[in-house]
Chain A
Amino acid sequence: DTGVSQDPRHKITKRGQNVTFRCDPISEHNRLYWYRQTLGQGPEFLTYFQNEAQLEKSRLLSDRFSAERPKGSFSTLEIQRTEQGDSAMYLCASSLAESGNTIYFGEGSWLTVV
């Protein structure tokens, strides 16, 4: 499968612990996005990168959240001092900036904070 891949697919952590998710986009895609999705809701935009530059962050992205894309390829999303309200699926997607509109999602990383 040469699509967007995310790791781990599932993570259970205790409140207060840090967690990190990884996203590997489609190889030639220069844009990478992170979303949060909770049950019964659509994906909510968190942040996006063009190459290694983080160009925008949503107000949903509190200071406990940090995302990086150091070499313009894979990206990591770290959540520090997790809270129960952080429990959600974290989706990654990628696209070509020049392609216009089509974004390709990964299968998501489920986070449960207990």
Chain B
Amino acid sequence: GENVEQHPSTLSVQEGDSAVIKCTYSDSASNYFPWYKQELGKRPQLIIDIRSNVGEKKDQRIAVTLNKTAKHFSLHITETQPEDSAVYFCAARPVNTNAGKSTFGDGTTLTVKP
């Protein structure tokens, strides 16, 4: 089955700096890669996703890049703000698999210091 590894497990940045979180996956058949943000005590929420036919996707201050050859994808947050502080999870979903059966990474706790 799919295996997703996420690094780093914790990340602390100063407000205004950029943050990068990286994930690798094992199943070359995976074709959908969502990122979720989970604030303390709250539900995971989808913040951005990318499909395997695209190399990069951007939405305001967040972007995701995908390297299918190397089987890794990354989340980039620019101009970080204290409200970006949360746990971020990456996930990978093999083709023809139910969306809810994505394999998740173990999460990155991002702290943005004012």
Count contacts between A and B, CB distance < 8 Å: 57
Nearest CB to that of A55 among chain B residues? B98
Q: Is A101 a contact partner of B49 (Cβ separation < 8 A)?
A: yes
Comparing B36-44, B59-67, B71-79, the segment that makes contact with chain A is B36-44
A 39-80 to B, binary, CB cutoff 8 A, 1 in contact else 0: 011111100100000001000000000000000000000000
A3–B99 Cα distance when bound, in Å, is 18
Interface core residue of A40, A101, A102 (most chain B CB under 10 Å): A101
Structural contact, A42 and B104, CB atoms closer than 8 A: yes
The chain A residue with its CB closest to the CB of B32 is: A101
Which has the most chain A C-beta neighbours within 10 Å: B41, B44, B49, B104? Answer: B44
Shortest C-beta distance, A40 to chain B (Å), equals 6
B43 A106 Cβ-Cβ under 8 A: yes
B residues near A3, Cβ cutoff 8 Å: 43
A113 within 8 A of B: no
Contact with A along B25-62 (1 / 0, CB 8 A): 00000001010100001111110010000000000000
Q: Which residues of B contact A48 (CB under 8 A)?
A: 98, 100-101
A-side interface residues, number (CB < 8 Å): 23
Q: Does A105 lie at the interface of the complex (its beta carbon under 8 Å from any beta carbon of B)?
A: yes
Contacts A42-B91, A91-B44, A107-B43: A33 and B104 contacting too (C-beta < 8 A)? Answer: no
Look across to chain B and name the residue whose beta carbon is closest to the beta carbon of A94: B100
> A95 contacts the other chain (Cβ, under 8 Å)?
yes
16 contacts between A and B (CB under 8 A): A31-B100, A41-B106, A41-B107, A42-B89, A42-B104, A42-B105, A42-B107, A43-B44, A45-B103, A48-B101, A56-B101, A91-B43, A93-B100, A101-B93, A102-B99, A105-B44
Name B's A-contacting residues (CB within 8 A).
4, 6, 9, 32, 34, 36, 41-46, 49, 89, 91, 93, 98-107
